[in-house]
Structure 1
């Protein structure tokens, strides 16, 4: 085809020929008899596979059949004749555009048109790239549709008017039996819900920012909640044309959340009920235990004085059983407070050797009960440490008690060493020892080495759990090393300077919370303010035996009046009393300039020294009363004088026991049965000391302390709280600065009570 115009019946000008040859499209020309006339350069390049038959005068059908025979047309393969007939028919009609797929993968767009003389001119465009793009888009659309429909979430699009334009299978299932496509939310849902949805859509469209939120639906399946993520839907130009939503039905999850919230609230209510129950049980159990332990101490002492030896074994059993029960109650309450995160850290600077001596004095009978020898290894100049004295003592008491229990005819050693940062205590015994497996479960609640141990030695299995918690709370640790048959070594390491209270606890500085010691007026009277008759009787008997003159009252008001009248050397004050509580009594005592110097010993079941000291109590003893400690306190306040002690206690036996105990120590006792009566006693005479129960009718110990605060004449009277109440942080706050000591009823002996009183009086004299 060197000649582009071989047919003498047709002629093309040079300029036209040049134009046709320069076209970017392919071009062919057939005459009215459908014989080949001309093909331009582009066509010849594209169709080089049939160039050998493109000769002038060759019929269109011949050229077409050559291409089919050479399998150049993809759609003709397998249906050659039918395809040839269809193609010839279309060629001769020359009525528009169509596409031809070549076997080599190319696509041509064919446009045929008749000429004025009956011939046919054809234009060819290579549309391979466009067809590939089209195929890619179809595949992409198919993949998108597959993902769209198979996604296990709700997917939809809306236009700017809020009309649903597409929805996947999950969405259609959600709306069943309705089909949202072509409708707005206003046409499908309740007006309020539809308005909320439309407002959210418009926010996305107007701001161009995605929005994640929870939305409510009311469908035929009921009320539903979905978590939706809505994003702006844009066209190719980037203009926002609507919104696309992706939603997950979270109705079931929300229901679970509601149920969990209800369960949480129920659990919290149960926890509060448990805490309240334990607090009530603390009072209800410790109060009678106080009487049991206190009177057994008095009977033991009287039996010894009267040489009634046959009663002593039984009385020993009563006292031992009472203290054992008290220890169990205390352990359970401590564990409950640990679980509730309500344990307070109370830091003070203590003399290490003095603490160890006090511990040994108390623990020696227990440690040596099984024929053991108790040894102490402690440098006389070991110095002091800053710690929570009560918790440190409790840890060492527990370890020494366990050593005495699990060791027979052996040696128990308590050692203490100190370096710049740590104080290390070791309790070493030559007892039964433990295996590695037993050690692994040693610090679990209600767990002992094994069932045999529990049956043989008894105990709740709580002591070491509580000890470990206390050590960690104080910034230290407890470790054990043991070998079966050779004994055990428990090592306690505590910071020498103390640590800040850990999260969930409150640390209170003892040095800032104790009330100053106050001078007395030389009387030997103790006023007992406690609404528990048993406590009053016990205190009366305790103190009377020690030479104190005991006055008791069951309410704070009477206690205050008695204090004014008697000016006792000390007052014991219960916290929980009807009318005016112990706190109020303590406050009013410290607020009265005539009574403020009288030491007040808070005697209560509330185990919260901090509050007592805050309010100005001179000492704080928790019920059941430790008789020795109370007597010691009162003797300390009285010293060589004949001091007066106001005992504010509503229980007659307790008040009488305290009176008898202190009177024997030379105290003049003023009694009040509650805060109101205690206030009346204070108005009549000013005691040197107040022993205060907290739980009393009419006016409890808290109210009594508060009243003391208001009276400048009473503000400096030492107050010792003696109570069976388990003090909260709020309770302690009412006592700090006004209570010298807090004694837990039943948790101290007669001697300890008297020692506390003596010490307070000694301070008063100084």
Structure 2
């Protein structure tokens, strides 16, 4: 598949080995590997479980074996004591034998009987009851028992034989020992045989293995008979039913028993739905799910990368991205077209500084010609901030806006937008604005000069009757003695003065409008200057209120000021202009009540408040009263007139002095405007306000 230009320049972002064609094969191989690992792990886990299970079974059976060995060995010692008694008293009577047997048996139900057979013929037994048939038994005449007796005599030691079936249906073993009589010379002579019958069934019942047999299947088998058969002595399972049992051997005198055991029901099989296998299946499924999810995310990442490449290529501008080491990661074709003289060096891994240096050497940047090192230093300083905006002219004659931003992970993204036409339009607009400013300045000058002359002559005309020439004319008329002529001339002078005063009022209003237009033009062009200095705000308030007192008297309003000396750092002339505007507005829009001026210190600022009891300002208009040319649409506003520039100029003048101008109002009750000015460095210790 053919890569796009951006992908090729950036080393090919897509992973070929994870293409759509290879993904199913990869997932099959991954599933196979995970499955094999899961099976192997399952078998290993099952083997460990079996080992643990065998260990537990072996430990439990060791306790059983120790109990059985202890009981059998006690029977061996009991038989040895009886043998010793017969060796000491070979002529022992039945009564004496019974006494010894009773003492040794101690009522133990596991001992079925004791029997003594001098010369291999049973002549003494205990208990006699139930064993009468045994008395008189001659072993020589019993082919089934004679081999065992002869084996015991040959061993000259205790021999354990069995198992045998008792009449009661129980299983038992016979412990036999030859009784040898030794002469002074150490030679021995066989006296006979003494035997003890041990009931294994009762012994197993007395051991109370109920809880153990609930957990394990146990079989204890005796030594092999002459026919090679090994029979079950006791237990809860047949030996042939036990699969791969734990094997423990009993080591008795001249006899060997085996203990076979498995957990009840057999060893735990490695079934599919065991807890361990379910855990393995769950883990395997989780791994496969994670692999699928990782591949899905990678697929989404590839799609997102392709979309990002398409989006970057679709940008109508230049795009470049740099890593934390300031090396190029990616760029689009628009970037290459802009920096055409640097195209040979622009590739992933190249440092931004190297690209700039190469461009300087190829005269890519017209502004760098003749000041190469300074240009490089300034450009790198801006670039290293990670947050810069600048305008850059290139050798193709175009002008670009360069915007660079850094991300949290150290990447830096740069965007270049062609602003050549916008720049030309901006320069044309600035030229037009400058032409407008120049026109306004010329116009204002041309208007103010004749208007000043008109105002001067109108003010003189207002006092026309007091001029010397007018006085001479009036005196001459009075001398003519024409009735009523002097009064008519005096009335004419008064009418002429009143007209001149109206001309003066209109001219003054027109001059204020021209001044507002001129100030606004200067503010818009940034040519209005502020001359801050320390002055007493109380004196300024007193001066302005005195200046506007006639206006208040003319409208029948009370104008009050409550301040104390407080020095501020501001332009007194501009502050006077602001206060005249605020107090003048309050007087113009109020028809009754009081206009008050107060001052209050707030931290390092002095707040001068102008309050009135006029019509107030609606809430929806309050936020717009400081906008240029905006006027509240009301009858009172239209009656008062104005351009709507006064408050806009006042706020800008306040902010240029480090202060502020704000307003609050309650419609129908009045308004309050607050002018905030910075206090001078040395201020009085306290400022007490007097209402």
TM-score (norm 1): 0.34
TM-score (norm 2): 0.37
Higher helix share: 2
Q: Which has the larger radius of gyration?
A: 2
